[in-house]
Structure 1
Amino acid sequence: MRAAWLGLLNLFALNLLAVSAASAYDATDPANCTGIGWDDARPLTVARVTGQPRVNFVKSPYDDDFKAASCPVPTEACRKKSYLVSDDWVLVGRTRGNFTCVTYQPPRTKSQTWARGWLPRAALAPVAPMAAPTLSDWTGSWVHPGGQLTIKAAGGGRLRIEGDQVVPAGRDLNNGSIAATAQPKGGVIAFVEDGTTPFEQPNGADECRVRLQRIGALLLVEDNNDCGGAGVSFTGLYHRR
Protein backbone atom coordinates (compact mmCIF):
# COMPACT_ATOMS: atom_id res chain seq x y z
CA MET A 1 0.00 0.00 0.00
CA ARG A 2 2.84 2.38 0.90
CA ALA A 3 4.44 1.76 -2.51
CA ALA A 4 1.14 2.51 -4.22
CA TRP A 5 0.81 5.81 -2.36
CA LEU A 6 4.38 6.73 -3.23
CA GLY A 7 3.65 5.97 -6.87
CA LEU A 8 0.60 8.22 -6.83
CA LEU A 9 2.54 11.00 -5.13
CA ASN A 10 5.31 10.75 -7.73
CA LEU A 11 2.77 10.84 -10.55
CA PHE A 12 1.12 13.90 -8.98
CA ALA A 13 4.50 15.61 -8.68
CA LEU A 14 5.32 14.93 -12.34
CA ASN A 15 1.95 16.28 -13.46
CA LEU A 16 2.46 19.36 -11.31
CA LEU A 17 5.86 19.96 -12.89
CA ALA A 18 4.38 19.58 -16.37
CA VAL A 19 1.62 22.08 -15.60
CA SER A 20 4.15 24.51 -14.11
CA ALA A 21 6.36 24.25 -17.19
CA ALA A 22 3.44 24.76 -19.57
CA SER A 23 2.22 27.75 -17.56
CA ALA A 24 5.71 29.25 -17.83
CA TYR A 25 5.43 29.50 -21.61
CA ASP A 26 5.34 33.10 -22.78
CA ALA A 27 4.89 33.71 -26.51
CA THR A 28 6.04 37.31 -26.01
CA ASP A 29 9.37 36.26 -24.48
CA PRO A 30 11.95 37.83 -26.83
CA ALA A 31 14.06 34.66 -26.58
CA ASN A 32 11.25 32.61 -28.14
CA CYS A 33 11.06 32.50 -31.93
CA THR A 34 7.41 32.15 -32.87
CA GLY A 35 7.74 33.35 -36.47
CA ILE A 36 7.30 36.65 -38.24
CA GLY A 37 4.93 39.37 -37.10
CA TRP A 38 2.99 42.20 -38.69
CA ASP A 39 4.39 45.74 -38.52
CA ASP A 40 2.26 48.65 -39.78
CA ALA A 41 5.36 50.73 -40.44
CA ARG A 42 7.75 48.16 -41.92
CA PRO A 43 7.20 45.84 -44.89
CA LEU A 44 8.22 42.23 -44.53
CA THR A 45 11.70 41.27 -45.76
CA VAL A 46 13.20 38.14 -47.32
CA ALA A 47 16.64 36.60 -46.88
CA ARG A 48 18.57 33.81 -48.59
CA VAL A 49 20.47 31.12 -46.70
CA THR A 50 24.16 31.36 -47.64
CA GLY A 51 27.61 30.13 -46.78
CA GLN A 52 27.04 26.51 -45.83
CA PRO A 53 25.47 23.42 -47.42
CA ARG A 54 23.29 23.09 -44.28
CA VAL A 55 22.32 25.59 -41.61
CA ASN A 56 20.64 24.11 -38.54
CA PHE A 57 17.86 25.84 -36.69
CA VAL A 58 18.63 26.95 -33.12
CA LYS A 59 16.33 26.27 -30.18
CA SER A 60 14.17 28.66 -28.20
CA PRO A 61 13.90 28.34 -24.39
CA TYR A 62 10.59 26.48 -24.60
CA ASP A 63 12.06 23.68 -26.73
CA ASP A 64 12.96 20.26 -25.24
CA ASP A 65 10.03 20.49 -22.80
CA PHE A 66 11.25 23.88 -21.54
CA LYS A 67 14.77 22.58 -20.87
CA ALA A 68 16.52 24.90 -23.35
CA ALA A 69 16.46 27.96 -21.10
CA SER A 70 19.87 29.23 -22.22
CA CYS A 71 19.00 29.22 -25.93
CA PRO A 72 19.46 30.75 -28.45
CA VAL A 73 23.25 30.59 -28.11
CA PRO A 74 25.87 29.05 -30.46
CA THR A 75 26.29 25.74 -28.61
CA GLU A 76 25.75 22.15 -29.62
CA ALA A 77 23.02 21.84 -26.96
CA CYS A 78 21.00 24.59 -28.68
CA ARG A 79 21.38 23.13 -32.15
CA LYS A 80 18.27 21.51 -33.65
CA LYS A 81 18.33 18.54 -36.00
CA SER A 82 16.18 20.41 -38.53
CA TYR A 83 18.00 22.59 -41.04
CA LEU A 84 17.79 24.63 -44.24
CA VAL A 85 20.18 24.50 -47.18
CA SER A 86 22.02 27.13 -49.16
CA ASP A 87 19.77 29.29 -51.38
CA ASP A 88 16.58 28.58 -49.40
CA TRP A 89 14.52 31.75 -49.03
CA VAL A 90 13.06 32.69 -45.65
CA LEU A 91 10.73 35.37 -44.31
CA VAL A 92 12.63 37.47 -41.79
CA GLY A 93 11.40 38.33 -38.30
CA ARG A 94 13.17 40.01 -35.42
CA THR A 95 16.77 39.53 -34.36
CA ARG A 96 18.30 38.61 -31.00
CA GLY A 97 22.04 38.86 -30.67
CA ASN A 98 23.62 36.82 -33.44
CA PHE A 99 20.36 35.11 -34.41
CA THR A 100 17.36 35.95 -36.58
CA CYS A 101 13.87 34.50 -36.19
CA VAL A 102 12.71 33.20 -39.57
CA THR A 103 9.76 31.43 -41.16
CA TYR A 104 10.24 28.99 -44.02
CA GLN A 105 7.96 27.15 -46.41
CA PRO A 106 9.37 24.80 -49.08
CA PRO A 107 8.90 26.17 -52.63
CA ARG A 108 5.96 24.72 -54.52
CA THR A 109 4.92 22.57 -51.58
CA LYS A 110 1.33 21.33 -51.57
CA SER A 111 0.95 21.55 -47.79
CA GLN A 112 0.59 24.64 -45.63
CA THR A 113 3.28 23.55 -43.19
CA TRP A 114 5.75 26.21 -42.02
CA ALA A 115 9.08 25.87 -40.21
CA ARG A 116 9.91 28.56 -37.65
CA GLY A 117 13.07 29.06 -35.66
CA TRP A 118 16.30 30.94 -35.04
CA LEU A 119 19.06 30.95 -37.66
CA PRO A 120 22.54 32.52 -37.37
CA ARG A 121 22.47 36.05 -38.79
CA ALA A 122 25.77 35.39 -40.55
CA ALA A 123 24.11 32.66 -42.61
CA LEU A 124 21.49 35.02 -44.08
CA ALA A 125 21.82 37.47 -46.99
CA PRO A 126 19.05 40.02 -47.67
CA VAL A 127 17.08 39.59 -50.90
CA ALA A 128 16.17 42.99 -52.29
CA PRO A 129 12.70 43.60 -53.71
CA MET A 130 12.26 44.64 -57.34
CA ALA A 131 13.34 48.28 -57.55
CA ALA A 132 10.62 49.70 -59.80
CA PRO A 133 8.04 47.08 -60.85
CA THR A 134 5.77 48.07 -63.73
CA LEU A 135 2.06 47.25 -63.76
CA SER A 136 2.74 44.19 -65.91
CA ASP A 137 5.19 42.93 -63.27
CA TRP A 138 2.25 42.68 -60.86
CA THR A 139 -0.50 41.33 -63.08
CA GLY A 140 -1.30 37.66 -63.41
CA SER A 141 -2.46 34.68 -61.42
CA TRP A 142 -0.32 33.90 -58.38
CA VAL A 143 -0.52 30.64 -56.41
CA HIS A 144 0.38 29.59 -52.90
CA PRO A 145 -0.48 26.50 -50.80
CA GLY A 146 -4.15 26.78 -49.94
CA GLY A 147 -4.95 29.76 -52.10
CA GLN A 148 -4.32 32.14 -54.95
CA LEU A 149 -4.31 35.81 -55.95
CA THR A 150 -5.32 37.37 -59.25
CA ILE A 151 -4.05 40.84 -60.11
CA LYS A 152 -5.46 42.78 -63.07
CA ALA A 153 -5.10 46.31 -64.38
CA ALA A 154 -7.93 48.54 -63.19
CA GLY A 155 -7.12 51.78 -65.06
CA GLY A 156 -5.50 54.98 -63.85
CA GLY A 157 -2.39 53.18 -62.69
CA ARG A 158 -4.40 51.06 -60.27
CA LEU A 159 -4.64 47.31 -59.89
CA ARG A 160 -7.48 45.01 -58.88
CA ILE A 161 -6.39 42.33 -56.38
CA GLU A 162 -8.66 39.39 -55.60
CA GLY A 163 -7.81 36.22 -53.72
CA ASP A 164 -8.96 33.32 -51.58
CA GLN A 165 -7.24 31.23 -48.94
CA VAL A 166 -8.39 28.00 -47.25
CA VAL A 167 -6.90 26.43 -44.12
CA PRO A 168 -7.85 22.96 -42.81
CA ALA A 169 -9.33 23.04 -39.30
CA GLY A 170 -9.96 19.52 -38.11
CA ARG A 171 -12.95 18.22 -40.06
CA ASP A 172 -13.80 21.73 -41.21
CA LEU A 173 -12.20 24.49 -43.27
CA ASN A 174 -11.51 28.11 -42.39
CA ASN A 175 -11.37 30.53 -45.29
CA GLY A 176 -10.65 34.12 -46.12
CA SER A 177 -10.83 36.42 -49.11
CA ILE A 178 -9.50 39.77 -50.23
CA ALA A 179 -10.87 42.06 -52.93
CA ALA A 180 -9.35 45.50 -53.30
CA THR A 181 -8.32 48.14 -55.81
CA ALA A 182 -5.04 49.89 -55.04
CA GLN A 183 -2.15 51.73 -56.66
CA PRO A 184 1.49 50.65 -56.30
CA LYS A 185 3.66 53.13 -54.43
CA GLY A 186 7.40 52.86 -53.95
CA GLY A 187 7.48 49.27 -55.14
CA VAL A 188 4.76 48.21 -52.68
CA ILE A 189 1.02 47.66 -52.98
CA ALA A 190 -0.58 48.32 -49.60
CA PHE A 191 -4.28 48.43 -48.83
CA VAL A 192 -6.88 48.18 -46.08
CA GLU A 193 -10.03 46.13 -46.72
CA ASP A 194 -11.24 47.09 -50.24
CA GLY A 195 -8.61 49.77 -50.79
CA THR A 196 -10.86 52.80 -50.25
CA THR A 197 -9.21 53.60 -46.91
CA PRO A 198 -5.64 54.97 -47.09
CA PHE A 199 -3.23 52.41 -45.70
CA GLU A 200 -1.67 55.05 -43.46
CA GLN A 201 -5.09 55.92 -41.95
CA PRO A 202 -6.80 52.72 -40.76
CA ASN A 203 -10.27 53.05 -39.28
CA GLY A 204 -9.64 50.76 -36.33
CA ALA A 205 -9.02 47.21 -35.13
CA ASP A 206 -9.94 44.00 -36.95
CA GLU A 207 -9.31 45.44 -40.41
CA CYS A 208 -7.76 43.34 -43.14
CA ARG A 209 -4.40 44.97 -43.92
CA VAL A 210 -2.28 43.66 -46.81
CA ARG A 211 1.07 44.48 -48.44
CA LEU A 212 2.50 43.09 -51.67
CA GLN A 213 6.06 43.23 -53.01
CA ARG A 214 7.76 41.77 -56.08
CA ILE A 215 10.94 39.88 -55.12
CA GLY A 216 12.80 38.07 -57.88
CA ALA A 217 10.29 35.98 -59.83
CA LEU A 218 7.99 35.79 -56.81
CA LEU A 219 5.22 37.83 -55.23
CA LEU A 220 5.62 38.42 -51.50
CA VAL A 221 2.29 38.79 -49.73
CA GLU A 222 1.80 39.65 -46.06
CA ASP A 223 -1.31 40.34 -44.03
CA ASN A 224 -2.14 41.12 -40.40
CA ASN A 225 -4.11 37.86 -39.82
CA ASP A 226 -7.44 39.72 -39.96
CA CYS A 227 -8.39 38.70 -43.51
CA GLY A 228 -10.32 35.53 -42.73
CA GLY A 229 -11.21 32.89 -40.16
CA ALA A 230 -9.03 31.48 -37.41
CA GLY A 231 -5.56 30.59 -38.64
CA VAL A 232 -6.13 32.05 -42.11
CA SER A 233 -3.31 34.12 -43.56
CA PHE A 234 -2.33 35.09 -47.10
CA THR A 235 1.29 35.62 -46.02
CA GLY A 236 3.89 33.85 -48.12
CA LEU A 237 5.83 33.74 -51.38
CA TYR A 238 3.61 33.19 -54.43
CA HIS A 239 4.56 31.75 -57.82
CA ARG A 240 3.06 32.96 -61.07
CA ARG A 241 0.79 30.33 -62.54
Structure 2
Amino acid sequence: MLSRFLTIGLLGLVVLAPAAWAEPAGTCQDGPDFTQPAHLATVIAPERVPFVKSTWQDKACPSAQAACREAAYLVAGNRVLVNGTLRDFACATYRGAKGATRSGWIPQAALKTEPPTNPGLADWVGTWTSGPEQTITIVAKGDSLVLVGEATYGAQDPERVRRGGVNIGQFQATAQPTGANLGFTEAADGGPTQPYGHSDDSACQVRLRLVPPFLQAQSNAGCGGMNVTFTGLYGRKG
Protein backbone atom coordinates (compact mmCIF):
# COMPACT_ATOMS: atom_id res chain seq x y z
CA MET A 1 0.00 0.00 0.00
CA LEU A 2 1.06 3.59 -0.50
CA SER A 3 2.00 4.98 2.86
CA ARG A 4 3.81 8.31 2.38
CA PHE A 5 3.05 11.52 0.51
CA LEU A 6 4.37 15.02 0.01
CA THR A 7 2.30 17.93 -1.32
CA ILE A 8 4.08 20.34 -3.64
CA GLY A 9 3.43 22.80 -6.46
CA LEU A 10 0.69 25.18 -7.41
CA LEU A 11 -1.66 22.51 -8.66
CA GLY A 12 -1.86 20.59 -5.41
CA LEU A 13 0.34 17.88 -6.88
CA VAL A 14 1.03 15.00 -4.53
CA VAL A 15 4.16 12.91 -4.92
CA LEU A 16 3.56 9.38 -3.73
CA ALA A 17 6.18 6.96 -2.50
CA PRO A 18 7.00 3.96 -4.74
CA ALA A 19 4.32 1.28 -4.51
CA ALA A 20 4.26 -2.44 -4.86
CA TRP A 21 2.74 -3.66 -8.12
CA ALA A 22 0.32 -6.14 -6.54
CA GLU A 23 -2.67 -3.98 -5.59
CA PRO A 24 -6.26 -4.83 -4.70
CA ALA A 25 -8.94 -4.51 -7.36
CA GLY A 26 -10.15 -0.95 -7.80
CA THR A 27 -6.77 0.64 -7.06
CA CYS A 28 -5.10 3.09 -9.43
CA GLN A 29 -1.43 2.23 -9.12
CA ASP A 30 1.26 4.84 -8.78
CA GLY A 31 3.29 4.21 -11.91
CA PRO A 32 3.17 2.32 -15.19
CA ASP A 33 0.82 -0.63 -15.48
CA PHE A 34 1.85 -2.73 -18.46
CA THR A 35 -1.20 -4.96 -18.09
CA GLN A 36 -3.38 -2.05 -19.26
CA PRO A 37 -3.36 -0.17 -22.57
CA ALA A 38 -1.99 3.37 -22.42
CA HIS A 39 -2.93 6.57 -24.20
CA LEU A 40 -2.58 10.31 -23.81
CA ALA A 41 -5.42 12.56 -22.73
CA THR A 42 -5.88 16.25 -21.98
CA VAL A 43 -7.95 17.71 -19.16
CA ILE A 44 -10.79 19.72 -20.71
CA ALA A 45 -12.97 20.51 -17.68
CA PRO A 46 -13.17 24.28 -17.04
CA GLU A 47 -12.86 23.85 -13.27
CA ARG A 48 -10.38 22.02 -11.07
CA VAL A 49 -10.60 18.24 -11.40
CA PRO A 50 -9.75 16.51 -8.09
CA PHE A 51 -8.21 13.06 -8.06
CA VAL A 52 -10.55 10.45 -6.58
CA LYS A 53 -9.72 7.92 -3.89
CA SER A 54 -9.18 4.26 -4.66
CA THR A 55 -11.09 1.35 -3.17
CA TRP A 56 -8.32 0.59 -0.68
CA GLN A 57 -8.80 4.07 0.77
CA ASP A 58 -12.59 3.91 0.88
CA LYS A 59 -14.72 0.95 -0.20
CA ALA A 60 -17.27 3.34 -1.73
CA CYS A 61 -14.67 4.83 -4.08
CA PRO A 62 -13.95 5.65 -6.81
CA SER A 63 -17.22 7.52 -7.21
CA ALA A 64 -18.49 11.05 -7.75
CA GLN A 65 -19.48 11.55 -4.12
CA ALA A 66 -17.72 14.37 -2.27
CA ALA A 67 -16.17 11.98 0.29
CA CYS A 68 -14.08 10.38 -2.48
CA ARG A 69 -12.43 13.61 -3.64
CA GLU A 70 -8.78 14.14 -2.80
CA ALA A 71 -6.92 17.41 -2.24
CA ALA A 72 -4.69 16.99 -5.30
CA TYR A 73 -6.23 18.15 -8.57
CA LEU A 74 -5.61 18.85 -12.25
CA VAL A 75 -6.62 21.83 -14.38
CA ALA A 76 -7.60 22.36 -18.01
CA GLY A 77 -4.73 21.76 -20.40
CA ASN A 78 -2.84 19.28 -18.20
CA ARG A 79 -1.75 16.23 -20.22
CA VAL A 80 -1.92 12.84 -18.56
CA LEU A 81 -1.13 9.25 -19.38
CA VAL A 82 -4.15 6.99 -18.98
CA ASN A 83 -3.57 3.39 -17.87
CA GLY A 84 -6.91 1.64 -17.70
CA THR A 85 -10.42 2.59 -16.64
CA LEU A 86 -12.93 1.60 -13.98
CA ARG A 87 -16.58 2.45 -14.54
CA ASP A 88 -16.68 6.22 -15.23
CA PHE A 89 -13.08 6.85 -14.13
CA ALA A 90 -9.68 6.72 -15.81
CA CYS A 91 -6.40 5.89 -14.09
CA ALA A 92 -4.39 8.98 -15.00
CA THR A 93 -0.76 9.88 -14.29
CA TYR A 94 0.35 13.50 -14.38
CA ARG A 95 4.05 14.37 -14.67
CA GLY A 96 5.13 17.79 -13.43
CA ALA A 97 7.83 19.97 -14.95
CA LYS A 98 10.41 18.73 -12.42
CA GLY A 99 9.55 15.06 -12.94
CA ALA A 100 7.28 14.50 -9.95
CA THR A 101 4.35 12.24 -10.81
CA ARG A 102 0.89 11.66 -9.42
CA SER A 103 -1.43 8.80 -10.35
CA GLY A 104 -5.09 8.55 -9.46
CA TRP A 105 -8.64 8.20 -10.66
CA ILE A 106 -10.03 11.06 -12.76
CA PRO A 107 -13.57 11.24 -14.21
CA GLN A 108 -13.41 10.19 -17.85
CA ALA A 109 -15.80 13.04 -18.74
CA ALA A 110 -13.06 15.53 -17.73
CA LEU A 111 -10.60 14.11 -20.26
CA LYS A 112 -10.24 14.26 -24.03
CA THR A 113 -8.34 11.34 -25.55
CA GLU A 114 -5.54 12.40 -27.89
CA PRO A 115 -5.02 10.63 -31.24
CA PRO A 116 -2.73 7.58 -30.99
CA THR A 117 0.80 7.79 -32.34
CA ASN A 118 2.98 5.24 -34.09
CA PRO A 119 6.48 6.04 -32.80
CA GLY A 120 9.48 5.42 -35.01
CA LEU A 121 13.05 4.67 -34.03
CA ALA A 122 13.99 8.36 -33.78
CA ASP A 123 11.21 8.99 -31.25
CA TRP A 124 13.03 6.81 -28.72
CA VAL A 125 16.31 8.68 -28.96
CA GLY A 126 17.27 11.03 -26.14
CA THR A 127 18.03 11.26 -22.46
CA TRP A 128 15.00 10.39 -20.35
CA THR A 129 14.62 11.12 -16.64
CA SER A 130 12.19 10.04 -13.96
CA GLY A 131 12.83 12.28 -10.99
CA PRO A 132 16.38 13.08 -9.81
CA GLU A 133 17.63 9.49 -9.43
CA GLN A 134 16.72 7.68 -12.66
CA THR A 135 18.08 8.28 -16.16
CA ILE A 136 17.82 6.24 -19.36
CA THR A 137 19.86 7.36 -22.37
CA ILE A 138 18.89 5.95 -25.77
CA VAL A 139 20.79 6.27 -29.05
CA ALA A 140 20.10 4.70 -32.44
CA LYS A 141 22.49 2.20 -33.96
CA GLY A 142 21.31 0.95 -37.34
CA ASP A 143 17.84 -0.48 -36.84
CA SER A 144 18.45 -1.04 -33.11
CA LEU A 145 18.66 1.07 -30.00
CA VAL A 146 21.49 1.20 -27.48
CA LEU A 147 20.14 1.86 -23.99
CA VAL A 148 22.13 2.88 -20.91
CA GLY A 149 20.41 3.26 -17.56
CA GLU A 150 21.72 4.78 -14.35
CA ALA A 151 19.81 4.90 -11.07
CA THR A 152 20.43 5.47 -7.39
CA TYR A 153 18.57 5.02 -4.14
CA GLY A 154 19.28 7.54 -1.39
CA ALA A 155 21.33 10.06 -3.35
CA GLN A 156 18.88 12.80 -2.34
CA ASP A 157 19.23 11.96 1.36
CA PRO A 158 22.15 13.90 2.92
CA GLU A 159 22.44 11.44 5.80
CA ARG A 160 22.72 8.47 3.44
CA VAL A 161 25.29 10.34 1.39
CA ARG A 162 27.27 11.18 4.53
CA ARG A 163 27.50 7.58 5.69
CA GLY A 164 27.97 6.09 2.23
CA GLY A 165 24.55 4.47 2.19
CA VAL A 166 23.62 5.31 -1.40
CA ASN A 167 22.78 2.27 -3.54
CA ILE A 168 23.42 2.36 -7.27
CA GLY A 169 22.27 0.46 -10.34
CA GLN A 170 22.84 0.46 -14.06
CA PHE A 171 22.19 -1.43 -17.26
CA GLN A 172 23.38 -1.46 -20.85
CA ALA A 173 21.53 -3.19 -23.67
CA THR A 174 21.02 -3.23 -27.42
CA ALA A 175 17.51 -4.06 -28.57
CA GLN A 176 14.92 -3.44 -31.28
CA PRO A 177 11.55 -1.94 -30.38
CA THR A 178 8.31 -3.41 -31.64
CA GLY A 179 6.27 -0.32 -32.32
CA ALA A 180 5.80 1.43 -28.98
CA ASN A 181 7.19 -1.46 -26.92
CA LEU A 182 10.66 -2.65 -26.05
CA GLY A 183 11.92 -5.16 -23.52
CA PHE A 184 15.19 -6.85 -22.71
CA THR A 185 17.20 -8.89 -20.25
CA GLU A 186 20.70 -7.57 -19.73
CA ALA A 187 23.30 -10.17 -20.66
CA ALA A 188 25.90 -11.34 -18.18
CA ASP A 189 29.61 -10.78 -18.84
CA GLY A 190 29.01 -8.41 -21.74
CA GLY A 191 27.29 -10.97 -23.96
CA PRO A 192 24.40 -10.23 -26.33
CA THR A 193 21.22 -8.74 -24.92
CA GLN A 194 18.52 -11.34 -24.26
CA PRO A 195 14.74 -11.01 -24.72
CA TYR A 196 12.63 -9.71 -21.85
CA GLY A 197 11.53 -12.51 -19.54
CA HIS A 198 14.69 -14.55 -20.08
CA SER A 199 15.00 -17.41 -17.60
CA ASP A 200 17.78 -15.75 -15.58
CA ASP A 201 15.72 -14.02 -12.89
CA SER A 202 18.81 -12.50 -11.28
CA ALA A 203 19.62 -10.49 -14.42
CA CYS A 204 18.35 -6.96 -14.92
CA GLN A 205 15.09 -7.06 -16.87
CA VAL A 206 13.46 -3.90 -18.19
CA ARG A 207 10.45 -3.22 -20.36
CA LEU A 208 9.57 0.12 -21.88
CA ARG A 209 6.53 1.62 -23.58
CA LEU A 210 6.78 4.85 -25.54
CA VAL A 211 3.74 7.11 -25.54
CA PRO A 212 5.26 10.46 -26.57
CA PRO A 213 6.04 12.65 -24.70
CA PHE A 214 6.23 9.95 -22.02
CA LEU A 215 8.30 6.81 -21.64
CA GLN A 216 6.98 4.18 -19.25
CA ALA A 217 9.49 1.83 -17.64
CA GLN A 218 9.28 -1.18 -15.39
CA SER A 219 12.25 -3.14 -14.03
CA ASN A 220 12.78 -6.13 -11.80
CA ALA A 221 14.93 -6.18 -8.67
CA GLY A 222 18.05 -7.29 -10.55
CA CYS A 223 19.17 -3.89 -11.83
CA GLY A 224 21.24 -2.73 -8.86
CA GLY A 225 21.47 -2.44 -5.10
CA MET A 226 18.60 -2.72 -2.64
CA ASN A 227 15.61 -0.52 -3.50
CA VAL A 228 17.16 0.61 -6.79
CA THR A 229 14.58 0.62 -9.57
CA PHE A 230 14.08 1.97 -13.06
CA THR A 231 10.31 1.74 -12.75
CA GLY A 232 8.61 5.06 -13.40
CA LEU A 233 7.26 7.55 -15.89
CA TYR A 234 10.00 9.38 -17.80
CA GLY A 235 10.15 12.58 -19.78
CA ARG A 236 12.80 13.60 -22.28
CA LYS A 237 15.45 15.87 -20.78
CA GLY A 238 16.01 19.24 -22.41
Report the TM-score, using the length of structure 1 for normalisation. 0.69
- The answer for the alignment partner of 1:164 in structure 2 is 150
Moved over 4 A (4+): 41-44, 204-207
Number of equivalent positions: 202
2:195 pairs with one of 193, 198, 202: 198
C-alpha contact 1:175 1:232 (8 A) present in aligned 2: no
Give the number of the structure whose residues are more often helix, by fraction.
1
Where in structure 2 are there 5+ consecutive unaligned residues? 1-21
Q: Which residue of 2 aligns with 1:151?
A: 138
Q: 1:34 aligns with which of 29, 37, 42?
A: 29
1:139 equivalent to 2:125? Answer: yes
Offset of residue 222 of structure 1: 1.4
One-letter code aligned to 1:186: G
What is aligned with 1:22? none
**Identical aligned residues as a percent:** 31
Q: CA 1:204–1:98 in 2, change beyond 3 Å: closer, same or farther?
A: farther
What do residues 131-187 of structure 1 show as CA deviations (whole Å, max 9, x unaligned)? 242x433323333322322222323x1111112122338634343322110123224
| Distance across 1 between alignment mates of 2:181 and 2:43 | 24
Pairwise CA distance, 1:43: 5.9
Choose which of 176, 182, 194 in structure 1 pairs with 2:169.
Answer: 176
Selected match of 2:91 from 101, 115, 118? 101
Please point out which of 96, 104, 107 is paired with 1:120: 107
The one-letter amino acid paired with 1:29 is P
Q: SS of 2:109's equivalent?
A: helix
Task: Indicate the residue corresponding to 2:66 in structure 1.
Answer: 76
Show the counterpart of 1:189.
Answer: 182
- 1:89 matched residue in structure 2: 79
How far, CA to CA, are the matches of 1:119 and 1:73 in structure 2?
A: 10
RMSD over equivalenced CA pairs, Å: 2.9
Q: 2-side partners of 1:61 and 1:141: how far apart?
A: 36
TM-score by length of 2: 0.69
Q: Which has the larger radius of gyration?
A: 1
1:67-100 deviation digits (Å, cap 9, x = unpaired): x331111111211221011222333333221112
Q: CA deviation at 1:120?
A: 0.8
CA contact (8 A) 1:56 1:80 kept: yes
Partner-residue secondary structure (3-state), 1:137: helix
**Structure 1 unaligned residues grouped into runs of 5+:** 1-26
Distance 2:201 2:40 in 1: 27
Q: 1:187-221: CA deviations, max 9, x gaps?
A: 4333233572234x632545512214151xx3413
Distance 1:204 1:186, change over 3 A: same
In the alignment, is the contact (CA less than 8 A) between 1:62 and 1:69 conserved in 2?
yes
Q: How many Å separate the matches in 2 of 1:97 and 1:74?
A: 11
